[in-house]
Chain A
Amino acid sequence: GQQVQQSPASLVLQEGENAELQCNFSSTATRLQWFYQHPGGRLVSLFYNPSGTKHTGRLTSTTVTNERRGSLHISSSQTTDSGTYFCAIAYAQGLTFGLGTRVSVFP
């Protein structure tokens, strides 16, 4: 089936550091989305980004469709950024999710 691979699996940051999360997928089908989930919380949509670059606050999503990859950049990380970030790709059966990148930001 379709695969979505995220890296790294986990990331530890000191507050203020930048980070880049990677997402690779097995098909040219994209409609890539990024989600954030705080432990025990709901999945929150961060970006719907089929291609190109989008910005929201300190977050930047970049999708390069023909290279089958996407990235999420976090700048000047804060402790409130801690949680798990999921990449998802839309295929015929809805979204297929990666296993996520767990981000821990310490003061």
Chain B
Amino acid sequence: NAGVIQTPRHKVTGKGQEATLWCEPISGHSAVFWYRQTIVQGLEFLTYFRNQAPIDDSGMPKERFSAQMPNQSHSTLKIQSTQPQDSAVYLCASSFGGDERLFFGHGTKLSVL
């Protein structure tokens, strides 16, 4: 079991460009979470899927951020018109049942220049 896989590990974009981040949860896990980590804000919840259905996206900046889970083996987080303040490590995690032990990927470090 390779754990939660996130790609790419690092992404550099110019201001205004689009960034798509990928996550492959652990096989058999029904819940997938996206978080953002910065030094200033710490770990911020973004969105949560269970059995591929969006459950809660209350942490998502509504205008430019979107997340999908088209099948049980991957989820994507898309940021349109990236801004320097979007620079952060974006973390994906999965769990067996949603409110159980969470397993994180290595994260994608997004740098917006």
Contact = CB atoms under 8 A, between A and B. Distances in A.
Interface of A: 31, 33, 35, 41-45, 48, 86, 88, 90, 92-100
Contacts of A42: 104-107
Interface in B30-53: 33, 35, 42-43, 45, 48
Nearest to A47: B101
Contact of A33 (B33, B101, B106): B101
Interface residues of B, number: 21
B102 A33 contact: yes
Contacts of A88: 43, 102
Contacts of A98: 42
A31 B95 CA distance: 13
B63 interface: no
A67 to B, nearest CB: 21
B45 A43 contact: no
Contact of A93 (B59, B91, B93): B59
A96 to B, nearest CB: 7
B106 A96 contact: no
Contacts of B99: 31, 90
